[in-house]
Structure 1
Amino acid sequence: MQTIVVVGGGYAGFYAAWHLERKLRRNEARVVVVDPRPYMTYQPFLPEVVAGSVEARHAAVSLRRHLRKSRVVSGSVVAIDHEHRTVTIRPADGAEFDLPYDIIVVTAGAVTRQLGIPGVAEQAIGMKHVEEAVAIRDRLLTAFDRASTLSPGPLRRKLLTVTFVGGGFSGVEGFGELLSLATALLRRYPELHRDELRFHLVEARDRILPEVTDKPGRWVVRQLERRGAEVHLNATLVSATGGHVVLSTGAEFDSDLIVWTVGNAANPMVRRHTDLPIDERGMLRVRADLRVGTEEAPVPDAWGGDDAAVPDLAAGRPGAATVPNAQHAVRQGKLLARNIVATLRGRAAKQYKHDSLGTVATLGLGSGIFQWHGLVIKGLPAWLMHRGYHVLAVPSWERKIRVLAVWLTAAAFGRDIVSLASVQEPRRAFVTSDR
């Protein structure tokens, strides 16, 4: 049998392997998925994990549970040598080893882009993985507990100040959901006052949410400001050393929680440690049928998607590439499986073309925005559309039912407001128990 190695178990990798399992005949090929995490993160649920509207485990789709016919290797691919058909894997324990393959599918995804700003690496939390979403939520809940025991002053003010850097899709959704949670928490903390809560959203451009047009984007800004947020446009973060935030506009304030959602960068493994062709941005060169290479020079037995330079045929512009979002990654993963099976059986591969289904974002409990071309829906209807779309989109009926159950429970009894920040240091209570 031929061996198909899938590099990365994110959206595109998971769906490629999942659909390969369904389409491959017995003994036609074996599938190996390599990823350091044992799950695929359903990232659209991360803002709701931050707010406690979705349980953390329900935003993580187990690779071993759902990829029952594939071999799952826990480790990171640190190099691809396509000339010799091997990938080098670094496991959590033990020495690196080489894994041979016949066909490779590169869906390594992007990494969080850092800009070398002082204090960011030490103070900020990203929002790309489940662990980060949980840490953001626990940090806010713990800050409320700590602030409630303090007299008004600089430390209490710092604990109740939250800063999101980046006004893109994930930043605005996370910001809106956390603002919704914090506002609701005030009812449980009579010691704290609404005017002590400070939420700052920092964006380098003159608008937020580039996925929607200008007018809906301005509506989102007004909606957040009506809820007490401060939106800093045309502003960049200069420093965050010790939690002291300095912006390019001259604004300065202390913030206990800083969330970094500035954007993505090309995966460094793809950029530096592969003999596959990459473009000037460090992204994998991919044809419209998701084969690696160009129309003139395709690379045999190599496929790619998700954060690759996939031509956007729906855009109608020469040189346009698909944006690295969930809509494209899921559909590219499914097409990867279909095209690989087709070529194994001597059939032609199909080109990837997908028109956007629109943009929908949550801005907190009961508030959202949806846009499809000129159609814009705001408020509660858009929020319901967001929930409806994503409960249908999350893979497997098991996950859909679990998420629905949590939403129904929260509707009846409210969100859980218990912080489990102590799980990040599980031995502390044991070590200090008899002191």
Structure 2
Amino acid sequence: MTTRIVIIGGGYVGLYAALRLQQKLRTGEAQVTVVNPENFMVYRPLLPEVASGTLEPRHAVVPLRAVLRRSRFVAGSLTSLDTEGKVATVAPEAGPELTLDYDELVLGTGALAKLLPIPGLAECGIGFNSLAEAVHLRDHVLRQLEIASATTDPELRRCALTFVFVGGGYTGVEALAELQDMATDVLAGYPELEASELRWILVEALPRILNTVSDELAEDAVCELRGRGIDVRVNTQLESAEDGVLTLSDGQEFRASTLVWVAGTKPTPLVKDLDLPVDDRGRIVVDETMRVQGRDGLWAAGDCAAVPDLVNGGVCPPTAQYAVRQGRQLGDNLAERVRGGTPVPFRYRSRGEFVTLGKNKAVGEVLGRRVAGAAAWAARRAYYATQIPTFNRTVRVLGDWLVGMPFGHDVVNLDSREQPRDAFRQAAGGRT
């Protein structure tokens, strides 16, 4: 009898588990179904470079249908799960709900931005957890440069040129550094502006930024950022953002047109509704093989799960490195289940870390050795070029990087794509 495997989520866990199953299983051994709202996977380590315009947005995604040719793909979202009857209910983009019977089911639903109840945050903040947000942020920063260069109002100018990022993890540091590098690079096209007028602020509640890397690597990043005039504030929290006026816990208060919230993530709300065992952070509790405790045929990994870290202790950090390896191990474990074998515990030791800080700027640690500058930047790019799935995407990413190296950043602001029907509505409104 063919084993029915359903994978919920097309991110790192879902994609790499499905790819592994395609490699390991023979035709007819299992029927694999992947469910995801979009028909692509976002390769998140490349989002900061999408935001700075270094990469074409479409090149930072992997088309699921193209790479999972031996799997069924359903564009939809999980709405309910009957773990006793082993039935998953999925809502497609349109039409009635679908019911998917399964023998083995993987939950890789990822995470969303974790917002705190800060006055004004929901109204003024910008997230950085998706391709659309990365593209929007680039257009937004360029729009602020245009506003500042055209206005005669000094307060509006200061507000437009103040960029605040809350959250000093990988995402916050890399996004801020890439965008600051881009803004500085394009200033030659804005003779009305001075580099000293641009104010970049990184706010972190913990005693240091980049809390998941070594103290030495974090310090290298801080030195690079502060050397470029970026205001790095640790042990500081955002207390209010009402009406665009930001109030920090250190007593400072100022206006800013750009507030980027990258202060952590939380599992998708669906996890709470599935009646599964969760830890104090809302992550699904799994054993070392990534099986959900007390649920036969149910597995979870990635940001939505508390996967034990057998190497360093505690729980695996929510990074791409770990999620990719968890997905591959899940694929191996599912293949073992199909063939009556024994799943293997997940065990991974990181070989290094890289933090990109702009063009020719990065810091890293490889096999215990610290690297910085252009060498770290080139090593990081070489690593991710080989890691992004499919030769097609590798070539496209390398092409973007090679073409962009001798040239500066593009200053074209395409924010009109956020309201693509505006021109049509204006034309319709002007009919005589």
TM-score in same-fold range (> 0.5): yes
Matches within 5 A, 1:413-428: 413-428=407-422
- The answer for the alignment partner of 1:300 in structure 2 is 296
Query: Contact (CA 8 Å) 1:212, 1:371: kept in 2 or not?
Result: no
TM-score normalised by the chain length of structure 1? 0.95
1:363 to 353, 357, 367: 357
Matches within 5 A, 1:24-423: 24-151=25-152, 153-270=154-271, 272-293=272-293, 297=294, 299-307=295-303, 308-315=305-312, 317=313, 320-372=314-366, 374-423=368-417
Helix, strand or coil at the partner of 2:247: strand
Q: Which amino acid aligns with 1:286?
A: V
Structure 1 residue 374, shift from structure 2 partner: 4.2
Query: Contact (CA 8 Å) 1:80, 1:273: kept in 2 or not?
Result: no
Structure 1, residues 200-222: CA drift from partner, whole Å, max 9, x if none?
11100121111233333233223
Q: 1:131 to 1:312 in 2, by over 3 A?
A: same
Helix, strand or coil at the partner of 2:239: strand
Helix, strand or coil at the partner of 1:303: strand
Structure 1 residue 265, shift from structure 2 partner: 1.0
CA distance in 2, matches of 1:357, 1:390: 14
Structure 1, residues 214-257: CA drift from partner, whole Å, max 9, x if none?
33323322321221211121110111122221111111111111
CA distance in 2, matches of 1:384, 1:253: 38
CA distance in 1, matches of 2:275, 2:243: 41
Q: Which amino acid aligns with 2:334?
A: I
Structure 1, residues 88-145: CA drift from partner, whole Å, max 9, x if none?
2223323444322221011111221111211111111111111110000010111212
Q: Which amino acid aligns with 1:302?
A: L
CA distance in 2, matches of 1:2, 1:332: 21
Query: Contact (CA 8 Å) 1:80, 1:275: kept in 2 or not?
Result: no
Q: Which amino acid aligns with 2:329?
A: L
Structure 1 residue 152, shift from structure 2 partner: 5.0
Structure 1 residue 417, shift from structure 2 partner: 2.0
Helix, strand or coil at the partner of 1:231: strand
Query: Contact (CA 8 Å) 1:82, 1:276: kept in 2 or not?
Result: no
Q: 1:216 to 1:28 in 2, by over 3 A?
A: closer
- Structure 1: which 5+ residue stretches go unaligned? none
TM-score normalised by the chain length of structure 2? 0.95
Helix, strand or coil at the partner of 2:260: strand
Query: Contact (CA 8 Å) 1:236, 1:248: kept in 2 or not?
Result: yes
CA distance in 1, matches of 2:278, 2:227: 45
CA distance in 1, matches of 2:325, 2:348: 8
CA distance in 1, matches of 2:100, 2:234: 48
Structure 1 residue 151, shift from structure 2 partner: 1.8
Structure 1 residue 2, shift from structure 2 partner: 2.6
Q: Which amino acid aligns with 1:13?
A: G
CA distance in 2, matches of 1:242, 1:7: 39
CA distance in 2, matches of 1:60, 1:257: 26
Q: Which amino acid aligns with 1:280?
A: D
Structure 1, residues 362-390: CA drift from partner, whole Å, max 9, x if none?
01111111124642112221111111111
Structure 1, residues 24-79: CA drift from partner, whole Å, max 9, x if none?
22222111111112111100000100111111111111111111121211111122
- Calculate percent identity across the aligned residue pairs: 42
Coordinate RMSD, CA, aligned: 1.5
Helix, strand or coil at the partner of 2:325: helix
For these two proteins, the number of residue pairs brought into alignment is 427
- Structure 2: which 5+ residue stretches go unaligned? none
Q: Which amino acid aligns with 1:30?
A: Q
Structure 1, residues 263-298: CA drift from partner, whole Å, max 9, x if none?
11122211x2214332333211211122221xxx5x
Helix, strand or coil at the partner of 2:126: strand
CA distance in 1, matches of 2:364, 2:18: 31
- The answer for the alignment partner of 1:431 in structure 2 is 425
CA distance in 1, matches of 2:31, 2:93: 24
